[in-house]
Structure 1
Amino acid sequence: MPELPEVETTRRGIEPHILGRRISRLTVRDSRLRWPVPPELPEQVQDQKILATHRRSKYLLIELERGVLIVHLGMSGSVRVLLDDPTPGKHDHIDVELDNGIRLRYNDPRRFGAWLYTEAPIEEHELIAHLGPEPLTEAFSAEYLFQKSRKRKTKIKTFLMDARIVVGVGNIYANEALYLSGIYPHKPTGRLTRKESERLVANVKQVLALAINEGGTTLRDFVGGDGKPGYFAQSLNVYGRSGLPCRRCETTIREFRTSNRGTFFCPTCQPR
């Protein structure tokens, strides 16, 4: 599933090609996404100029003159920049044609993404309003995390992946940050110490920043805006490495399920 670094990589990839351009036409080939594409969307965005691109959590936001396009990549979506007009494939559901001949093509085999539009303040949109702070900002601090963790009984990994606490720390990056912090993934959140909060916040920021710089994580379905896969998978310490030796201590990496997601950890580096 595309996570925060993959979405940020996509945003950075498409931005130079679309800023300042006008939307000539938006074509919807299949509107059956996670939320149906509004039938009025092509008319709403036509002839509008693209002013900026943003990312909020895992949402790609394309700011127009009168509103904002809200794009979510879902489980398998990608947005690519095309300089020509190749024949659309089976899963190429949406095209955004620009006034310079460039087009954005949205591909989503599982159709679990979204293309929505709002002219209301974006921070008030129902998908955005409840979200916690961005992990790479000062709002996500050790003190913030420590205070939020008080009296919580949930597992720390589950807590870290709660978008109401902090956005964008998906499964891969939660596993990696907990490993680097030496914290057992099922440690009760309320037992998190201030020192652990400091390490965890620092490592969340480090892991996400590195993943963005390396273009995201190479997963089966993800490619960036230029059609190329990310390379962060080569740097993973525990995720997807069950049965392999820990890079630090050579203890065998173990895996169990947390809320139906794979949890990977080193029993020596992350003691109970």
Structure 2
Amino acid sequence: MPELPEVENIVSYIRNILLNRIILYTVIKNDNLRWRVPFEIKQLFNVRVFNVYRRGKYIILKLYSGYIIIHLGMTGSFRLLFNKSNFGKHDCLDLIIDSGIIIRYSDCRKFGFWLWFNKEDKDFFLNKLGPEPLSKNFNCNYLYNLTRLKKLSIKSFLMNSRFVVGIGNIYANESLFKSGIMPTRLSMDINFDECVTLVNSIKKILLIAIKYNGTTIKNFKQIDGKPGEFAKYLKVYGRRNKLCKKCNNLLIYIRQNQRSSFFCKFCQN
């Protein structure tokens, strides 16, 4: 599933294509995503895009009459077309832009979604989310105070969007390794100094991942078709039965809440 760095790169790319442009109309090939594509999106006609931004893993298009909120699910992706072409097996919809560019959305597993909101409903939908991990609101005091109240593993805490957004499985694993913290530790047992280290590690990992256009493990590709290059720099994620790059001992793999966790029992405690 695309996480914050992957979505940030996609948003940066399509912002340059869409900002202050006109969506002439949409073409729907398959609206059977996680939820049906709303009527308002199907009927778009000559509407200007005033902003393109990210909140957590959501891509948000601000239009004159409302907001489109997009989630890529497990396998959602965009690509640019410069001429009309037939839809492929997994293609779902096109945004036809006044510049002559077509933005095509594809999703082979159909877990992504496109939703339509007015401002009030959009705010209600997004206000349930925790702070952005790269913002000033996500700091050691915030993390320490909130973890005192939560009796769950620190990895599960980091992946809960009510507490902090955008930190998916890849970056939770990597940030905990960089911090020297076991993913199975209870969040309420993480001390203040560890919270300082963990916050700094999360921010550094995410910024480096953004720099390298995210992480491609299987499906993720940038809009230009290139893979995310941060996979070259992974220290633990996906390295089952391999040696720790720091201490040369065998990495441990377990399942936590149906997700893969990778760690070093010598470098993390």
Out of 66-75 and 113-122, give the one that drifted further. 113-122
The 2-side partners of 1:18 and 1:122 are apart by 23
CA distance in 2, matches of 1:15, 1:124: 21
Structure 2 residue aligned with 1:172? 170
Q: What residue identity is the alignment partner of 2:184?
A: H
Which residue number in structure 1 is paired with residue 242 of structure 2? 244
In the alignment, which residue of structure 2 is the partner of 1:192? 190
Task: Report the equivalent of 1:74.
Answer: 73
Structure 1 gaps of 5+ residues are none
The answer (yes or no) to whether the contact 2:67–2:122 under 8 Å persists in 1 is no
2: CA distance, partners of 1:93 / 1:252:
43
Residue matched to 1:64:
63
Q: What is the Cα deviation at residue 124 of structure 1?
A: 2.0
Alpha carbons 1:14, 1:81 under 8 Å: kept? no
d(CA) in 2 for partners of 1:230, 1:87: 27
| 1:103 matches 2:79 | no
In the alignment, which of 223, 226, 248 is matched to residue 225 of structure 1?
223
**Aligned equivalents of 2:9 and 2:182: distance in 1?**
30
TM score, norm. by length of structure 1: 0.96
Provide, for residues 101-131 of structure 1, a one-character-per-residue CA deviation record: whole Å limited to 9, x for no partner: 10110000000001111122465243x1210
Match of 1:142 in 2: 140
Work out whether 1:87 is the aligned partner of 2:86. Answer: yes
Note the alpha carbon deviations across 1:149-203, whole angstroms, 9 max, x for none: 0042211100111101000010000000000000011101111100000000001
Contact 1:67–1:117, Cα closer than 8 Å, also in 2: yes
User: Aligned pairs, how many?
Assistant: 269
Amino acid across the alignment from 2:35: W
C-alpha distance in 2, partners of 1:116/1:5? 22
**Contact 1:142-1:198 within 8 A present in 2 as well:** yes
CA distance, structure 2, for counterparts of residue 252 and residue 85 of structure 1: 51
State the match for 2:31 in structure 1: 31
Q: Distance in 1 between matches of 2:216 and 2:69?
A: 24
1:34-49 equivalences under 5 Å are 34-43=34-43, 45-49=44-48
In 2, distance between residues paired with 1:211 and 1:90? 31
Give aligned-pair identity as a percent.
42
- The letter for the 2-side match of 1:79 is F
